Amino acid sequence: MAKLIYSAIASLDGYVADENGNFDWAAPDEELHRVVNDLERPIGTYLYGRRMYETMVYWETADTLADQPSFVRDYTEIWQSADKIVYSRTLDAVSSARTRIEHDFDPETVRHLKAAGDRDLSVGGAALAGQALEAGLVDELHSFVVPVIVGGGTRWLPDDVRMSLELLDERRFGNGAVHLSYRTTPQDQSPGGVSSNGSTPL
Ligand SMILES: NC(=O)c1ccc[n+]([C@@H]2O[C@H](COP(=O)([O-])OP(=O)(O)OC[C@H]3O[C@@H](n4cnc5c(N)ncnc54)[C@H](OP(=O)(O)O)[C@@H]3O)[C@@H](O)[C@H]2O)c1
């Protein structure tokens, strides 16, 4: 069974884009980019919200740019060789290969993709990923926490989901970013699923 992975580069206060829609502060340096490359290398299919797709489709033509460093060329190949499903009620056409549009996010369809797939899937775009989390479809969460507070914008996690997580790994980068990866625990993927253990407050 394939896993569904949600990863995001976010500010310490939990935003993937600030109130002006900017995320230049989240641009990865080489060290972080190489880790993202390795994280995405096994992915067979990207599930994208329309807004995230519009950002990421840059990679469809990135191989035409001259003098790109090896880690950028590597990511370009990784992106181009994966399948993409773009969720949108407004798009009728896409400008990348191996890409199809779905007009509705149907959790059952994604469940089938996971059950039938031999390569993992990822979900990108906070709005879409929030729905995947809410539906209990996400198996792993990866947060790349950038050392910045932006005060508002698009949150990487939705408001209405509550779950326990198992920490898989953590890593710090030279630029002050931190990578935290978690496995979700299916029994807790519902509102109120995390119970109080009666411990004393700290
Ligand atoms: N931090 C970073 O490193 C980084 C990197 C790249 C991008 N970003 C930013 O992160 C943000 C992406 O997240 P987001 O939450 O804004 O957008 P998103 O989840 O990528 O896209 C939202 C769009 O997806 C479609 N959609 C969502 N749910 C759907 C459903 N149930 N059925 C059909 N279509 C559905 C809709 O498209 P339609 O409106 O077409 O119907 C909706 O407007 C953007 O601001 C992006 O620029 C950040």
CA of 128 relative to ligand 1 center, distance in Å: 6
Does the predicted model carry a pTM greater than 0.85? yes
**pLDDT of amino acid 202:** 72
Q: Residue 108 phi/psi, 5° resolution?
A: -65, -40
Tokens standing for residue 104:
């509705």
Residue list, ligand 1 pocket, CB within 6 Å? 9, 16-17, 21, 23, 26, 49-52, 55, 87-91, 103-105, 125-128, 131, 154
Concatenate the DSSP letters of all residues of 52-81 into one string: HHHHHGGGGSGGGSSS--HHHHHHHHHHHH
**Cβ(123)–Cβ(134) below 8 Å:** no
**pLDDT of amino acid 179:** 98
**pLDDT of amino acid 196:** 56
Q: What is the dihedral of CA 54, 65, 41, 148, to 10 degrees?
A: -60
| Cα separation, 19 vs 187, whole angstroms | 35
Give the H or E element holding residue 139: none
**pLDDT of amino acid 148:** 98
CA of 87 relative to ligand 1 center, distance in Å: 9
| Cα separation, 162 vs 164, whole angstroms | 7
Which among 17, 35, 19, 20 has a CA at the least distance from the CA of 177?
35
End-to-end distance of the chain based on CA atoms, in angstroms? 40
**pLDDT of amino acid 200:** 74
Name the residue at shortest CA distance from atom 13 of ligand 1. 125
Per-residue pLDDT of the chain (202 residues; tens, 9 = 90+): 999 999 999 999 999 999 999 999 999 999 999 999 999 999 999 999 999 999 999 999 999 999 999 999 999 999 999 999 999 999 999 999 999 999 999 999 999 999 999 999 999 999 999 999 999 999 999 999 999 999 999 999 999 899 999 999 999 999 999 999 999 986 555 554 555 566 678 7
Cα angle for residues 53, 57, 66 (degrees, 5° grid): 155
Cα angle for residues 174, 177, 180 (degrees, 5° grid): 120
**Cβ(57)–Cβ(51) below 8 Å:** no
Tokens standing for residue 123:
């979900």
Task: Please return the burial class of 111, using the count of CB atoms within 10 Å of its CB with bins 0-12, 13-18 and 19+.
Answer: middle
**Cβ(22)–Cβ(14) below 8 Å:** no
CA of 172 relative to ligand 1 center, distance in Å: 28
**pLDDT of amino acid 190:** 52
